[in-house]
Structure 1
């Protein structure tokens, strides 16, 4: 009897010491939308046993230290420039504090979820994944999910307008997904048409050349159609022979939305536009079961890969195919819903010791459609790539200063310019678009502006204020002048000749600009590796300092949207073309 009393007393003491105060365990809202996001409507109530692939992003304990280190190794004036971190060094900085692991496991156990049975942790320990019925998710998040339908596309998504966590978990969890993210990731591509047989590329030997900004000869046909030869002439990579293809230099291309690269089309492209590359290929890596169906050639996938290889051959090109289609409702023949591919891809790449030194992605969505906590967490993962020596390019978008009505989705329905995420993340390089040659002009769809989520980074402090002063009070209230400004740079984005299904299509969009600029960066890395130097890594601090003379300033063009003429291209940085377009010869002299 005495033993029972002592044991009971010990249990009470333990409970009193370790029990979470009631006010801390009460649910508190983590994120909510005031209204159903624009373009969506309630459709139905999903089944309680509908399976959800839940992802929980745990607080990264030393993320501020990682970002400080990123800036040190990316600043060409810092003594640590180029001293990039290893995978293990990065993972130590983003790993959760042990107390976070403890409280998360306790929370999961309280809902009948045991680590060894149902929970998968990524290599850094800052993401956990579990596949559980909707009813359990609703209990864990104190919420109710609905099936929502997109009014234009009829896409269906199981989402909630609000979710909560026990108050004491807010300091341990950054995000839980899928919950309130209604973003419709889209390809950054505005024009695509099949050229008639007599409207393909002319023999450049029969057309008089024009003079480029550095005095170089450029085929006049490049004013109408873009090929690898046009880009090599315009951006002065013609004649450069890559030297580090066998010394580890690589470029990575991201594919989402079931966009597949077609190998037969790639060889046809080589025969037409890069004969010396015939027989070369792209290595395809599958992320979480991503496919590469050769019966469905993708315009986006073919564009990205044909032009990265077209510019960088014989440098190895890696194509990542990641599941991430339009949101779907699972049934007996539909695979599990996978509509948040950024995190899947980032975790995959970051889990490997070895990875390409350059990445290009031609996808994105209006910043406001991403919950801010999601955008920040994904942005910090791009910072991890930069800390490890990778340069990350994203298309800046194809909506000018914003497509459609440009209404806010915070319940006020105000008109505001709409920048695109992830290009607004300060740790990636946003790429806008130009067209024409001698001179190049900013093209109307080139999306540019200012982030609402991310403040202006210090590397932009010298170039953005002069643009704002010239702008004056124009568009006051329509954008955040203190926000991170995009794009950073630009490149050609219209009339790209792409082989799709054996035929040439003319494609435009910042989806063409991003792989083009990424190809130039890959060649710069090649030159640095050949000289025994580290790769460029996170580019922006360098671009906005010693790199500025390596760009051709674009002085013409504007990017209308939201019922306005948009911003104007002008001397110096502008919100249409950024710092301008690359001059490989000039940049190589600055960075090698």
Structure 2
């Protein structure tokens, strides 16, 4: 998701805010901001919403110095740079992402013209780059030159109010990056959690005396991961300054009793350890409804990082929309709510893991860039962010484009290109698991840190899959970890769970230990790790077999070096200790 400095300069006209050339705002001179050629696949139009229903309109203003933010991100994240590890404070980041004063004036004038008092905003980010206001559907339609519809997503039973296109006064295109809810149809319910329950397993305790317990051939526990990734002898000590955040959606709740059962069976020295739950945007913490995804995440992050503090962010939205209601309640925007919440905090965890995502093509480009810039803020402040790479290989379903052409192409994931974690299976040796998401973005170009390894892989493919993927796109995954047969306690019972949802929290747990190691040695946290890991691939176990089929193809193949199935490979904690301490 993050791009090279050269690409940033090339995209300046798309990403930066510039002073408006005129104080007069012609609200009648509308220019389209984004549109879909057809209703996004999986959704169907139901009817027109009540024009007096209220929605929360989120306005993302263009960030005046975001090029400096990206430059700073790379400088503080690149080994051997004189700024390496010198992460920015919240206040320093806010200065770089604040909109130009002329942009603020133009947006507020636009709101006032439509009878919306900007002082009544329900939310303003500390930098001023995001503002939320409550307006009626009819008012939003007037402001955006559009028509809203009520749409249904039968697979997830979601109802949302969205548009197929929206426009802004021509001059506001210089001031506004994105407005939502508009054309992004993702919701908490329609986002995919990248985990699935496998066949039932017996309830055994691993033999931790073996180098790699024999039971790990059929199921994964904490002991298996400690042995595979060489963390067994490490005891964290910087627990007052280090923490790990798990971001949860979909009404998934991490259960405290299940965690104790899990620790009793698989990490006895950690029994009694608790995690903190923070609710975001009306999230809940219903201990009577343990979630498979949430329990998988928290059981393995706690189990691997103990005694480091863990925080589970239960990220909600509005209650499910009732199509017979006169009040629109489900206009929630995934990613935006949690990102704006966490960035408003002065102190944030050094490591995060998230196991939810969309197909990149379902996310409007301007929305994707805005979310990307928010993740850049996290990285600049010293946080490492892991995302599951997805469970559909190079693409699930028919892989048809949604631009009206019905062209079949590989479908990259979003936002798996922050630091994306693919999946492996087995241990003698580990191989890339067939569902491991991987590929090449069509939105973001190859960053400089991975240019050489990606070019080498693309060259090795020759004409294979020519035209099905973007040869110059940001490639993922970056790393990989086990992704099958994880023993998870849910409602007191043991389940076998698979997916890159298991891989991402595993990686987060290991890098939390690496952050602990640095902090204990009076160094900074690692932050955005991609430049570091691509310059030090020797810290990982190279995975050289496996493939990720999809789109009626065999998909990509794991090879020596980086590949779009397992990235640079799986972690070796001891080798990485030497790298991050240098």
TM-score normalised by the chain length of structure 2 = 0.93
User: Residue 557 of structure 2 is aligned with which of 537, 556, 568?
Assistant: 568
Q: CA deviation at 1:155?
A: 2.3
1:460 maps to: 450
Q: Which has the larger radius of gyration?
A: 1
The runs of 5 or more residues in structure 2 that have no matched partner are 1-20
Alignment-derived partner of residue 129 in structure 1: 132
The aligned counterpart of 1:233 is: 227
Structure 1 residues 61-70 or 280-289, which shifts more?
A: 280-289
Question: What CA distance in whole angstroms lies between the structure 1 residues aligned with 2:424 and 2:142?
Answer: 50
Aligned-partner Cα distance in 1 for 2:206–2:244: 30
Q: CA separation in 2, counterparts of 1:581 and 1:328? A: 42
For residues 566 and 456 of structure 2, what CA distance do their matches in structure 1 show?
Answer: 15
Q: C-alpha deviations, 1:350-409, integer Å up to 9, x for none?
A: 111101000000010100000010011101100000000000000000001000000000
| Cα offset, 1:195, TM superposition | 2.1
Q: Answer yes or no: is the 8 Å Cα contact 1:159–1:178 preserved in 2.
A: yes
Structure 1 counterpart of 2:239: 245
Q: Distance in 1 between matches of 2:474 and 2:320?
A: 30
After superposition, what is the alpha-carbon deviation per residue over 1:480-528, rounded to whole angstroms, capped at 9, x for unaligned? Answer: 0100000000000000000000101100000000000011110001111
1:57-99 CA-partner distances (Å, limit 9, x unpaired): 0010000000001100000020110000000000000001110
What's 1:88 paired with? 91
1:187-239 per-position Cα deviation (integer Å, ceiling 9, x unaligned): 4434304625xx2225527xx95xxxxxxx10111011000010000000001
Secondary structure at 1:174 match in 2: strand
1:434–1:490 contact (8 Å) kept in structure 2? yes
Structure-to-structure mapping, 1:125-524, within 5 angstroms = 125-183=128-186, 185-193=190-198, 195=200, 199-204=202-207, 209=210, 217-246=211-240, 248-324=241-317, 328-329=321-322, 336-424=329-417, 428-524=418-514
Q: In 2, are the aligned partners of 1:270 and 1:278 still within 8 Å (CA)? A: yes
- Structure 2 CA distance, aligned partners of 1:292 and 1:170? 40
Answer whether contact 1:189 1:507 (CA < 8 A) is retained: no
- Mapped to 2, the partners of 1:522 and 1:312 lie a distance apart of 6
- Match of 2:55, SS state, is strand
Residue 582 (structure 1) aligned with residue 571 (structure 2): yes
The structure-2 alpha-carbon separation of the partners of 1:19 and 1:438, relative to structure 1 and needing over 3 Å to count, comes to closer
The partner residue of 1:26 within 21, 24, 29 is 29
Answer whether contact 2:276 2:312 (CA < 8 A) is retained.
yes
Q: Contact 2:282–2:317 at 8 Å: present in 1 too?
A: no
Q: Does 1:57 align with 2:50?
A: no
Unmatched tracts of structure 1, length 5 or more: 1-16, 210-216
CA contact (8 A) 1:85 1:388 kept: yes
Which residue of 1 is the match for residue 518 of structure 2? Answer: 528
Measured in 2, the distance between the counterparts of 1:373 and 1:329 equals 29
Distance 2:392 2:438 in 1: 8
CA contact under 8 A between 2:31 and 2:170: conserved in structure 1? yes
Q: Which runs of 4 or more aligned residues in structure 1 lie more than 6 Å from their structure 2 counterparts after TM superposition?
A: none
CA offsets 1:163-199 (integer angstroms, 9 cap, x no match): 0000010010000001001135534434304625xx2
Q: How many correspondences in the alignment? A: 559
Displacement of 1:318: 0.8
Deviation at 1:152, TM superposition (A): 3.3
C-alpha distance 18-170 of structure 1, shift in aligned 2 (>3 A) = closer
Distance 2:131 2:433 in 1: 42
Distance in structure 2 (CA, Å) of the matches to 1:321 and 1:578 = 29
Q: Tell me: CA distance 1:108–1:437, structure 2 relative to 1, closer, same or farther (3 Å).
A: same
In structure 2, what is the Cα distance between the partners aligned to 1:126 and 1:19? 20
In the aligned structure 1, how far is the partner of 2:421 from the partner of 2:79?
21
Residue 5 of structure 2 corresponds to none
Q: Distance in 1 between matches of 2:103 and 2:573?
A: 47
CA contact (8 A) 1:398 1:447 kept: yes
Partner of 1:550: 539
CA distance in 2, matches of 1:251, 1:338: 29
2:74 maps to what in 1? 71
Give, in angstroms, the shift of residue 288 of structure 1: 1.9
**Equivalent pair of 2:392/2:435 in contact (CA under 8 Å):** yes
